[in-house]
Amino acid sequence: MKYVAKLGLCSLLWVLVYAANVFAEPVVFSAEYEAKAYGFSAVAKRSLIKLSENRYSLRNTIAAEIFGESLAELDERSDFLWQDGRVIPQSYSYIQSGVSKSVEKVEFDWENNIAFSTEDDESWRIPIELGVLDKLAYQLQIRELIKQAAETEFHFRVVDTDEIDVHHYRIVGEEVLETNLGRLNTIRVEKVRRDSDSRSTVIWLATDWDYLLVGLEQINGSGRTVELILLRATVDGELVSPLR
């Protein structure tokens, strides 16, 4: 009986520890990156803040200038609820201004399982179900699934203007990445595409810093490259430091 009691207690402790790890709240962060694209460079910013008890906001911004004049600005934001280790998007916006202008917005109505999506002057009502994400929130869900170490390939259903798109990613392996901040331990993740697709997307997440995005390389169909590489960051109030 003592053995059974001890086994039961150990099992209970394991469940409590597992649940704490799986359903822990997202860790807030603030990061700056050097962004390079089409011969231009700029500073991109990315942050996760807590708005209320289980409500968060993930935001990307970038401003490109040439000779002191604004060339383009981008502001992308996802507000979401965090529930049992799952991202539940509430609203999404993508606003691009400057030489090229574009506005995308998505409002999620979970009571009626409808997403109201707009792009410039067009709009759509898209049926959704739990698990559908927006074009920014899924990036946070990748980090959570990696932390759970549940699998090495991930599929996400994402609202993309007038449809639900499927994003497929896989973990390639571990890598020490050289950043502007210094060397960091990372997990390399790639977007899976058809063999005939010449595009590629690779992201690096810092394993010692709650899987913070520290690098990105994206090559489009014409062979042009977009890069993000970490400049500086804080995670849960702690300054990110490189390997010694």
Mean pLDDT (whole number) for 126-151: 91
- Which residue from 189, 220, 182, 191 is spatially nearest to 203, judged by alpha carbons? 189
Task: Enter the DSSP assignment of 197.
Answer: -
Between CA 78 and CA 139 the distance in angstroms is 11
Mean pLDDT, rounded, of the chain: 87
pTM of the model: 0.86
Q: Report the C-alpha gap between 68 and 86 in whole angstroms.
A: 42
Residue 161: what pLDDT? 94
The confidence score (pLDDT) of residue 163 equals 96
Rounded to an integer, what distance in angstroms lies between the CA atom of residue 172 and that of residue 215? Answer: 15
All structural domains of the chain, each given as residue ranges with its CATH number in brackets, are 24-239 (2.50.20)
- The answer to whether the beta carbons of residues 187 and 202 sit under 8 Å apart is no
Q: In angstroms, how far is the first alpha carbon of the chain from the final one? A: 51
pLDDT value of position 38? 73
Where does the pLDDT of residue 5 fall: very low under 50, low under 70, confident under 90, or very high at 90 and above?
very low
Given pLDDT bands bounded at 50, 70 and 90, which one contains residue 178? Answer: very high
| pLDDT number for residue 22 | 52
pLDDT at 28: 97
Residue 40 contacts residue 66 (beta carbons within 8 Å) = yes
Residue 19 has pLDDT above 90, yes or no: no
Q: What is the pLDDT of residue 140?
A: 93
pLDDT above 90: residue 172? yes
| Higher pLDDT pick, 9 / 190 | 190
